[in-house]
Amino acid sequence: MSASRRIVVTGMGIISPCGKTVEENWENIIAGRPGIDRIKAFDPSDYSSQIGGEVKDFDPNDYIGKKDAKRMDRSSQLAVAASVETVQGVDTDKVNGDDFAVIIGSGIGGIRTFEKQHGRYIKGGPSRISPFFIPMMISDMASGLVSIRYGFKGPNYATVSACASGGHAIATSWMAIRSGYAKAAVTGGAEATISPMALGGFCSMKALSTRNDDPKRSSRPFDVDRDGFVMAEGAGIILLEELEHAKVRGAKIYAEMIGVGMTGDAYHITSPSPNGEGAIASMRMALKDAGLAPEDIDYINAHGTSTQYNDKAEAQAILSLFGKDSGVHVSSTKSSTGHLLGGAAGVEFIISTMALMNNVMPPTANLENVDDDCLLNHVLEAREKNLRYVMSNSFGFGGHNVSLVLKSFDN
């Protein structure tokens, strides 16, 4: 592994409940305008949670040919659509496609396709199942479709680690470039799980907010009145690139990625390890990788799901590693976007990059009464600060932890 190989962010694309471009998302998130509402994809009346973060007015035909779009699950459509903004600065006729990896995570993949095709099977038997069922459903298809679209022939696969999926995709992309397996990587995560079965499953776990009469204020990480996360859909896709490769092609450079931490809790299938031990280890590893001390980090974009156990464990982990008197500021932008599951880390990595570029920390919307177990240096309104180093955390069911460190870019 070459520690001297610097890796930078040269492309970003978001489609989420807060907008269909990076700028639109940034504007709504720093303003604390949540994109959460009553679910419209189907009638949620029978569910304990009837709210979600849906992508509004999304027409895949704006990004993808009509025939091809019909053969994609919505999760893949969102990934490909977000990649259009990400890759717009790359002249694909002039770059070597062999140098570009595509690694995109998804926690569940094509569950909407699975539900639809299972319905056809129940009604008409196996002959009614679409021949496109399998390629539409499998989680790796987003990365495959993006590589086909742009002719990128480097390492190509999906990462699947629940809500840490996008974080693992970004981390392994960075490692692939650093070790010389690729010179650039299209990476991030995508998810489209607002479906009857997925919603029902999370409702049965009692994991979701039931603040159905007040959707905009339903996602409230670190608040004493939080009552669960809000399921959302979308994609956050990033282009990571080796610095010299980026310079040769005259790419715009947004930030530099300098560290990765990845750990496992080895504790429980859904609950985080006590006192956030896995999160502490992940953040500590990322700091070591970046050559930083805890006091160097200016801002943390927290995983902050708005669930009782996760928020408390993450807050305790941050307090333990950074100290009670630390100057590090913390916010969770899931308060605005909802929780995109496998797509969350990609969106939050981009928002962290935008924070660095603009020297503005986004707020945790709806944080009105901070839980005594979560007494961090919270960002309650968008706040200007000279940012040098930021961290983005992502944790998933199964005890998966990923921490990513970015720095402002200088030559």
Q: Which residue numbers are catalytic?
A: 163, 303, 339
Q: What is the DSSP string of 56-90?
A: TT--GGGTS-HHHHHTS-HHHHHHHHHHHHHTTT-
Location of structure tokens 């471009």: 21
SS3 of 52, please? strand
Nearest residue to 162 (alpha-carbon basis) of 394, 338, 405? 394
Mapped onto helix, strand or coil, the DSSP state of residue 296 is helix
State how far the Cα of 389 lies from the Cα of 295, in Å rounded to an integer: 10
Question: Which are the contacts of 260, defined by CB distance < 8 A and separation ≥ 6?
Answer: 171, 174, 175, 285, 286, 289, 402, 403, 404, 405
Q: Which of these, 296, 348, 355, 353, lies nearest to 326 by C-alpha position? A: 296
299-301, strands of its sheet edge to edge: 156-157, 100-105, 184-191, 234-242, 7-15, 255-264, 400-407, 389-396, 299-301, 329-331
Identity (one letter) of the amino acid at 171? A
Q: Both tokens of residue 235?
A: 């994609």
**CB burial readout 77-99, b (16+ within 10 A) else e:** bbbbbbbbbbbeebeeeebeeeb
Burial class of residue 334, CB neighbours in 10 A (0-12, 13-18, 19+): buried
